[in-house]
Each structure stands twice: as C-alpha cells, then as structure tokens.
Amino acid sequence: MIKKIVIFFKNVKNEMSYVTWPTKDDLKEGTTVVIVMSILVAIFLSLVDAGFGFLIRNLLLKG
C-alpha cells in the first residue's frame, strides 16, 4: 500500500513538470478580464431585473 502511494506521488511530480504556468502578466490580464466581465454581467442582470420588475408592477396594478 505504501509503495503504491509513493509511486503515485512520483507520477504526480513527473506530470507537474509538464505544466506550463502562466506568467505574471498573463495572470494580471486574466484577472482583469474576469473582473470587468463580472461587473458588466452584474449591470446587465440588474437592468433586466429592473425591467421585468417594472413590467410586472405595471401589469399587476393596471390589470
């Protein structure tokens, strides 16, 4: 059992050597894109929610 665990971690170490990690600039760019898109989606969903709320209120009050 211990031998299998040691082999597993050796394999993990070997596979990790093939990983290409992002540079600091790539990381900053990706983070900026995620933050900007999150803000844009939040604004869009807020506007859609407000629009549906307006429609529902007017339909219920006038209906």
Phi/psi-derived region of residue 21, left when phi > 0, alpha when psi is between -120 and 50, beta in every other case = beta
pLDDT in tens, 23-37: 999 999 999 999 999
End-to-end C-alpha distance for the chain, whole angstroms:
72
Give 12-63 pLDDT, tens digit per residue. 999 999 999 999 999 999 999 999 999 999 999 999 999 999 999 998 877 5
